Structure 1
């Protein structure tokens, strides 16, 4: 979808404490970006994956006692792709795992499984001199 002056695509970031109440705010920020860019076709997937990535970061921080803020950064790429990156300073590197049927139907524990199965592209990378990491995903483009 071409960018026009009426529908600008703006990159943005959001920094917030590792508190579960901020998951909704992060999701709404991405919803606003999608609305501004006139990309409702990406909303369901982008909002689900944002919720999962932010929840994972908040949970990792809370479990490890890390009080450093979580950062969400979103950027528009070529061909109308949206890339969302969520970083935290909690130790450990997440990885997806195969889920049993019961785990797939559970209320939690399936964030990276969903990201792996729903994103066009995604990854995890270590950042900084400390223990932090970032999980990123992309929606739209070739795989959408």
Structure 2
């Protein structure tokens, strides 16, 4: 598989904060195997924020989805069982806010575009919060 072919992975996440670390590490492996190591750091941060929000703010299952669309768009999204819209991202006004409550503000700051939509998955109502990163690929 090359960066010119689309691919997609989904990871089911239990309602357990330890799943956030597993999600980050799985994403790192996926991007590395597909030769997208230049996106790993930012993508890991975004995936961790999306997965963390899905686990922290809901009681049900969640899922992380990673999709590559040529010529260079990486979409990372998290589904959770809460159909309520996410809280709008707030600007970082105080240094103490940098460590907690930063979720969607970091996503907004680091992603090229982000959004959310209501979604039903396996009979459960919920929402899908996503973001995209554009990759500048080097051709040999």
Q: TM-score with structure 2 length normalisation?
A: 0.84
Residue matched to 2:90: 97
Q: Distance in 1 between matches of 2:7 and 2:54?
A: 24
| 2:73 matches 1:81 | yes
Residue matched to 1:139: 133
Given candidates 13, 18, 22, the residue that maps to 2:19 is: 22
Q: Distance in 2 between matches of 1:109 and 1:48?
A: 14
The secondary structure found in structure 2 opposite 1:86 is: strand
> For structure 1, which runs of at least 5 residues remain unmatched after alignment?
none
Q: Distance in 1 between matches of 2:107 and 2:71?
A: 20
Q: Relative to 1, partners in 2 of residues 1:78 and 1:10: Cα closer, same or farther, differing over 3 Å?
A: closer
Given candidates 89, 100, 113, the residue that maps to 1:108 is: 100
Q: Distance in 1 between matches of 2:36 and 2:21?
A: 19
Q: TM-score with structure 1 length normalisation?
A: 0.82
Q: Contact 1:9/1:36 (CA < 8 Å) preserved in 2? A: no
The secondary structure found in structure 2 opposite 1:79 is: coil
Q: Distance in 2 between matches of 1:92 and 1:10?
A: 29
Q: Relative to 1, partners in 2 of residues 1:39 and 1:93: Cα closer, same or farther, differing over 3 Å?
A: same
The secondary structure found in structure 2 opposite 1:11 is: strand
Given candidates 119, 122, 135, the residue that maps to 1:127 is: 119
Given candidates 19, 28, 40, the residue that maps to 2:37 is: 40
The secondary structure found in structure 1 opposite 2:57 is: helix
Larger % of strand: which?
2
Q: Which moved more, 1:121-130 or 1:110-119?
A: 121-130
Larger % of helix: which?
1
Q: Which runs of 4+ in 1 moved over 4 A?
A: none
Aligned pair count reads 133
